[in-house]
Amino acid sequence: MPNHPDESGLKRDPEKDSLSPEEQEEIALFEAIFKSCKLRKDPVELIMRNTRNNLLKSVGNFELAHHPFPRNEGERIETARIIRKAAIDLFFRGLVSEYRIDKLRPIGIEFIRLDQSQKIISDLREGKPLLIRGIHGIGKTAMFLKCMMPGTLKYEDLLIDLRTIFSLPLEKIDLDEFKIFFKRALWREISRHIAQRESEEEKEEERIKSSNMEPLEYLEKYLEDHDSSVSLVVDEAIALRNSPECFEYLLQLKDSLNLKRIHLAIILHYSHKLECQHQELIGEYETHWIRSITLEETTRIIREPLKGKPIKLTDEAVYKIHEITGGRPQEIHRLCQALFFPDPENKPNKLVYEEEDIEKPSPHNKIITDIPELSVPAKELAKAYQMLSLEQQEFMQRLSRDGAVSVSEIADEIVEPLVNLTLVIKEDGRCRINGGLLQKVVEAIVTGKIPLQ
């Protein structure tokens, strides 16, 4: 009886039993991936008919790609092997893209930190001026998108990102220049807001300018006439940290025009320097520190993109990711990208990822700054460290060295901002660094591997 090829493209014969464990695992992975795609035909045959040449070219095998079909059995087996590897590579590259922050944001909006979002919505409805605080990547902007839809930005609310509206570095902008740029940004947002309700945007901007009113004054009157209200959210306020007059002007907006229907909210990173310079003004705002996500929420963030796919992470692997990242979303999505990034020479992709896979040595899985997949969160953690006071930095170094320190040994004014920033955890009367990546970043700063700017 002749031997027929199986789904891997290899014949069903005794030689298959002699394949290495790695080759057998690769075949099992390939079959599981394409079964999850619900293909009824032999996947290798299907690929050969449709995308064989493109796949072969994508892995640099132009000699085989030149021929429409394999010329003999040996070439078919080699082609099938290359196709398997290329198809697995493409699948996992697609999986990596599922962990981009823009793909994960809808999951976060729907399921994550709902307790905080409800409190922020309540404060907005009461007209309280708000500060949303936290380090980069913790989810400050995502939190406001959650509160404004809840889900995504609607025309009822206005969002201004200070980093995108200036043509000059903000360190070089004086107060008069800032007012000009900020007013232009308000005109554009107000025009968009009103135009989506009733008219064309360009005509609306002309009407605003010809009214001889300040933008917010114009909007306040419009809202009063239409018995409505909006939130004005100013993002990336930390960009003004070296322009104290501009930062003070921004914080004083809540008092400048006696606004009743425009609810001001400012998204602001922590900076010890700013806290000292503007302590009184900052104290006049209702402050919400965005917390780390819980283990349950981390599990949701990790496993939601895997629905309908054959790839699994054990509970122990998920816990390890949560432990390494401290529950900070940017670090979670970067670590997942590093975990799934195709790297067959150092870390073959798998059907089931276990705890030992999370920190397995690999150019794409080291938790340190010179690795592209994790350089962004590591550098951002270093920036957050640099924004601390000297006493806070010294305390972080002590925690890095000693592992844990009694709460009674440190002043509240030093440790509380670190807890609010999710950099430190207080439990059982002791403080410790929150997350393995942050621990390594602090160690790298101390040894000079990460130079502070």
Per-residue pLDDT tens for 287-344?
999 999 999 999 999 999 999 889 999 999 999 999 999 999 888 988 898 889 887 6
Residue 81: pLDDT band (50, 70, 90) is confident
The amino acid present at 309, given as its one-letter code, is K
105 located within any domain: no
**Residue 248 reports pLDDT greater than 50:** yes
Cβ partners under 8 Å of residue 94, min gap 6: none
Where a domain ends, among 262, 289, 316? 289
CATH code (residue 215): 3.40.50.300
Q: For residues 194 and 256, state if they share a domain.
A: yes
The amino acid present at 322, given as its one-letter code, is H
pTM of the model: 0.81
Residue 191: pLDDT band (50, 70, 90) is confident
Share of the chain above pLDDT 70, in %: 75
371 located within any domain: no
Residues in the chain: 453
- How far is CA 206 from each of CA 190, 199, 222, rounded to the nearest angstrom? 11, 12, 15
The arithmetic mean of pLDDT across residues 364-375, rounded, is 49
Where a domain ends, among 338, 362, 386? 362
Beta carbons of 64 and 56 less than 8 angstroms apart: yes
**Residue 347 reports pLDDT greater than 90:** no
C-alpha span between 210 and 187 (Å, rounded): 12
Q: For residues 203 and 257, state if they share a domain.
A: yes
Per-residue pLDDT tens for 110-135?
778 888 888 888 888 888 899 999 98
Q: For residues 208 and 240, state if they share a domain.
A: yes
Q: For residues 90 and 210, state if they share a domain.
A: no
pLDDT of res. 286: 94
Q: For residues 303 and 284, state if they share a domain.
A: no
Q: For residues 179 and 320, state if they share a domain.
A: no
Where a domain ends, among 97, 126, 152? 97
**Residue 435 reports pLDDT greater than 90:** yes
Share of the chain above pLDDT 90, in %: 31
**Considering its fold, how many domains does the chain have in total?**
4
Q: What is the mean pLDDT of the chain?
A: 79
Q: For residues 277 and 146, state if they share a domain.
A: yes
Q: For residues 326 and 426, state if they share a domain.
A: no
Beta carbons of 53 and 70 less than 8 angstroms apart: no
Which regions of 116-192 does DSSP assign to beta strands (E)?
A: 130-133, 158-161
CATH code (residue 311): 1.10.8
Beta carbons of 261 and 228 less than 8 angstroms apart: yes
Q: For residues 249 and 174, state if they share a domain.
A: yes
Q: For residues 274 and 418, state if they share a domain.
A: no
Please, is 319 exposed, middle or buried when counting C-beta atoms within 10 Å of its C-beta (0-12, 13-18, 19+)? middle
Residue 374: pLDDT band (50, 70, 90) is low
User: Looking at 170-174, 403-407, 435-439, which range is the least confident one?
Assistant: 170-174
**Residue 371 reports pLDDT greater than 80:** no
Q: For residues 125 and 244, state if they share a domain.
A: yes
Give residue 227's domain range. 114-289
Residue of 341, 347, 355, 350 whose CA lies nearest to 33: 350
